[in-house]
């Protein structure tokens, strides 16, 4: 038996939706893309949505849309996947790492304030594990310093902040549809925004910044075949077939997320008294969508716990090595960066299985394995 920490759920209606898409005249850039975008925007409550090939592409597009360039600084968390910072580097900017809150593991607004300079252009808060950051405080800081806010909600499809779905409250929000996330398009991402100008820039960026729109063309005399590349964009397009899967999955997202909440609730109840194990804290006003369920191993035996659980067939993982600790960052000016709280969490954290298809029997097995660790067995 092997129980992964995360797993996709593909059902018969998803397969049928993909099959129908494959029979259309356009399987690359067809009508299914707009259908998915419109449905997702409606779900999160935003005016606009742009589907892209990955969450990383979505982050890159957001930095492009606000014209991040050499000399600009963007503040983000170190406790995240590298893409949350790499997107700034792609545009020539400088990621700046602010430490995390010791309870939520999300970026600390107080630490953000400490790192703002006259070069700061934006903040990228990451909703770690699916729990929203302290967005009221972050927006207050952004307004004070005239900064953009790009929410990285790769973990947070379906999460809520003060009663509102994540995806409609900042300048831009990105989502990921990797197979271990709440819903999948195999690979894929989305940007949501209420800003029409940013929306248009992102749409252009995902397709080379090429346009045939007569109103936008600089050369209006050439002919009806004429198109122009008006910026340096990328091929970050997502296919019609992938979006057909996304639209089908989106219809079930509340069921998927609610099941994750049930799994997390059972962990919380049955493991609350385990010695040397710290369970995840949920901040008031935040409703996590539980992409990850993390525990802290407090007795200095995280490595031993990882190996024992792996040996027992439980696919635990560690999220994440602080980004500035990666060799690339160490070689490019980040050797002296220290975020003590993020480093302490990294030394203790383990992600245990949480996904829609996790059975009661499998979860019982995981809980017993963690109990054995807590009791020193």
Could you report the per-residue pLDDT of 190-226, keeping only the tens digit for each?
999 999 999 999 999 999 999 999 989 999 888 899 9
- Domain 3-250 bears CATH identifier 2.60.120.1130: no
By DSSP bridging, strand 210-211 and strand 120-124 are unpaired
188-221: b or e for each residue (b if 16 or more CB lie within 10 Å)? bbbbbbbbeebbebbbbbbbbbebeeeeeeeeee
Reference 42, options 149, 190, 152, 187; nearest CA is 190
Note if the pTM is more than 0.85. Answer: yes
Q: How far apart are CA 139 and CA 155, in angstroms?
A: 20
pLDDT of the residue at 237: 98
Q: How far apart are CA 130 and CA 160, in angstroms?
A: 9
Q: How far apart are CA 62 and CA 302, in angstroms?
A: 36
pLDDT tier at 1 (50, 70, 90 boundaries)? confident
pLDDT at 284 over 80: yes
pLDDT of the residue at 299: 86
Enter the tokens of residue 200: 């248009």
Assess whether the region 3-250 and the region 253-374 belong to the same CATH fold.
Answer: no
- Span between the terminal Cα atoms of the chain, in Å: 20
| Mean pLDDT rounded to a whole number for the chain | 97
pLDDT of the residue at 143: 98
Q: How far apart are CA 325 and CA 343, in angstroms?
A: 9
Q: How far apart are CA 21 and CA 25, in angstroms?
A: 9
43-89 confidence digits (pLDDT tens): 999 999 999 999 999 999 999 999 999 999 999 999 999 999 999 99
pLDDT of the residue at 220: 87
pLDDT at 377 over 80: no
pLDDT of the residue at 49: 98
pLDDT tier at 374 (50, 70, 90 boundaries)? very high
CB neighbour class for 126 (10 Å; exposed up to 12, middle 13-18, buried from 19): buried
Q: How far apart are CA 292 and CA 305, in angstroms?
A: 18
Give the DSSP H/E element, type plus range, for residue 373.
helix 360-374
Mean pLDDT score, 279-302: 96
15-26 confidence digits (pLDDT tens): 999 999 999 999
pLDDT tier at 361 (50, 70, 90 boundaries)? very high
pLDDT at 232 over 90: yes
Are the beta carbons of 173 and 150 closer than 8 angstroms? yes
Mean pLDDT score, 359-367: 98
- For Cα atoms 177, 135, 197, give the angle at the middle one, nearest 5 degrees: 65
DSSP annotation string for 251-262: TTHHHHHHHHHH
| Of the candidate ranges 23-27, 235-239, 258-262, 359-363, the one whose mean pLDDT is the lowest | 23-27
CATH number of 253-374: 3.90.1150.10
pLDDT at 6 over 80: yes
Q: What are phi and psi of 365, to 5 degrees?
A: -65, -45
Cα dihedral sign for 17, 19, 24, 27?
A: positive
- For Cα atoms 283, 59, 79, give the angle at the middle one, nearest 5 degrees: 45
pLDDT tier at 261 (50, 70, 90 boundaries)? very high
Domain ranges within the chain, ordered by starting residue: 3-250, 253-374
Are the beta carbons of 268 and 364 closer than 8 angstroms? no
> How big is the chain by its Cα radius of gyration, in Å?
21
């Amino acid at each position: 038996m092997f129980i992964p920490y995360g797993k996709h759920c593909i059902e018969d209606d998803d397969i049928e939706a993909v099959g129908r898409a494959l029979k259309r005249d356009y399987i690359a850039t067809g009508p299914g893309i707009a259908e998915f975008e419109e449905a997702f925007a409606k779900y999160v409550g935003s005016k606009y949505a742009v589907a892209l090939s990955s969450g990383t592409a979505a982050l890159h597009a957001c930095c492009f849309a606000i014209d991040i360039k050499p000399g600009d600084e963007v503040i983000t968390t170190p406790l995240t996947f590298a893409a949350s910072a790499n997107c700034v580097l792609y545009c020539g900017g400088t990621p700046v790492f602010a430490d995390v809150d010791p309870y939520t593991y999300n970026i600390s607004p107080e630490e953000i304030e400490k790192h703002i300079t006259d070069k700061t252009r934006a903040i990228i808060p990451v909703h770690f594990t699916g729990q929203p950051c302290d967005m009221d405080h972050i927006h207050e800081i952004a307004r004070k310093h005239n900064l953009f806010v790009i929410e990285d909600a790769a973990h947070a499809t379906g999460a809520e902040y003060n009663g509102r779905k994540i995806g409609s409250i900042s300048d831009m929000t990105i989502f990921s549809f990797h197979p271990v996330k709440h819903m999948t398009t195999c690979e894929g991402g989305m940007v949501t925004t209420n800003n029409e100008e940013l929306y248009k820039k992102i749409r252009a960026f995902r397709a080379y910044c090429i346009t045939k729109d007569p109103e936008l063309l600089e050369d209006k005399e050439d002919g009806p075949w004429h198109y122009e590349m008006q910026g340096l964009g990328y091929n970050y397009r997502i296919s019609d077939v992938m979006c057909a899967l996304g639209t089908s999955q989106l219809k079930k997202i509340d069921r998927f997320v609610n099941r994750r909440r049930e799994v997390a609730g059972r962990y919380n109840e049955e493991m609350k008294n385990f010695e040397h194990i710290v369970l995840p804290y949920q901040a008031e006003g935040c409703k996590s969508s539980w992409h990850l369920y993390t525990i802290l191993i407090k007795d200095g035996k995280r490595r031993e716990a990882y190996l024992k659980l792996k040996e027992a067939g439980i696919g635990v993982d560690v999220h994440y090595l602080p980004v500035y600790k990666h060799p690339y960052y160490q070689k490019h000016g980040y050797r002296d960066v220290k975020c003590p709280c993020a480093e302490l969490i990294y030394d203790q954290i383990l992600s245990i299985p949480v996904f829609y298809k996790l059975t009661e029997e499998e979860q019982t097995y995981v809980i017993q394995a963690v109990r054995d660790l807590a009791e020193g067995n």
